Amino acid sequence: MLDYAQLCTAAREAVFLASAVCREVQASLDELKAITKDDKSPVTVADFAAQAIVAKVLSDQLGEDVILVGEEDSKWLRQEEHATHRQATLAAVQAVWEDATEKDMLDAIDIGAGDTHHAGYWTLDPVDGTKGFLRNQQYAIALAYVERGTPVVGVMGCPNLPSDFSAPLDVPDPHGCLYAAIKGDGVYAHPADDAGEKPIEIRRLDHVEGEPISVCASVEKAHSNVNDTDRILEYLAERGTPSREPTRLDSQAKYAVTGRGQADAYLRLPTRPGYVERIWDHAAGSLVATEAGCFVTDIFGNALDFSHGRGLEKNKGVICAPPRVHGLVIGAIEALGIGANT
């Protein structure tokens, strides 16, 4: 039987170091853009560097047979025309892996080319929320271990997310948050910049009847069907559950914000027929929110099924909310016929 605590310890160190690398890259956004002549280069560098670091730490702590399903491979970075990006990525990696060579880095990135045809595997989104990263706002490093179609360990670094609920979400926090969850054992919050700080267990209360709800929404409106979200909120308001102004931020950090009670629901509604969510966009965040006390399902109330390759092929959309709000939202979706033609 796998030692989930050991897996979580390795994942926490991996994400902690990847968060540090991403902070360094984000601190030099303008410099990187000037060097590479590419406005998106900082997030490209951070993506590759974070994946290399996560793969390196998991391999060192858990053995060379680690199966990692990541978003990136090194093919693009190996091309000579991208030598400037490659050098910048190596410099970022060496901030925490001092003796890394180009070959070490590229080989580590390619550990993430694993497949899902295993009883258990890791899945990683090295920088989730690319536009938030480029705006110097919210993004996440999301790592999860999936066993037989279910995330059982999830660690999510949110380097700019304040632990103080009253702090603005559009201003980077100097410490950030890191969330670590084991299925059935709860979720714990750590500062993203201090691995030795004592963690705090996160447990949200259920919604109280009559209180308004706040939806956690993307800054990028293309990520969810905003019209359908408005229809759901109008339907609930007509039946006695008003809504507040939405909480807007990028990335899987929305799962953490909902799980810790700063918002009451995260709705990711289908934007077009046939769209399939990616496993790395939800594995870590969904476990963090579930262990905090939320329900996480698709828009029809089905559990998210991670056993069909790199996509959530059997699911449509995602609803994350504490039990009472989840029931209200699922009921509204059914009544309004949302998703019936997607």
Residues with catalytic roles? 47, 130
* Long-range contacts (CB closer than 8 Å, 24 or more residues apart) made by 227-230: 228/269, 228/336, 228/338, 229/267, 229/269
Q: Which amino acid is at 158?
A: C
257/183 Cα distance (integer angstroms): 19
Count each helix (H run) and each strand (E run) in the chain, helices first.
11, 12
Q: How would you write 209-276 as a 3-class SS string? A: CCCCECEEECCCHHHCCHHHHHHHHHHHHHCCCCECCCEECCCCHHHHHHHCCCCCEEEECCCCCCCC
Segments in 69-225 forming alpha helices (H): 75-78, 83-93, 102-110, 130-134
What sign has the CA pseudo-torsion 9, 253, 140, 281? positive
Q: Which amino acid is at 319?
A: I
Assigned token pair, 257: 């914000």
Assigned token pair, 326: 């989840």
CA-based end-to-end distance of the chain: 40
105/36 Cα distance (integer angstroms): 19
Q: Partners of 179 in the beta sheet?
A: 156, 189
Assigned token pair, 230: 């408005």
H-run or E-run covering 178 = strand 177-182
Buried-state track 169-186, b at ≥16 Cβ within 10 A, e below 16: beebbebbbbbbbbbeee
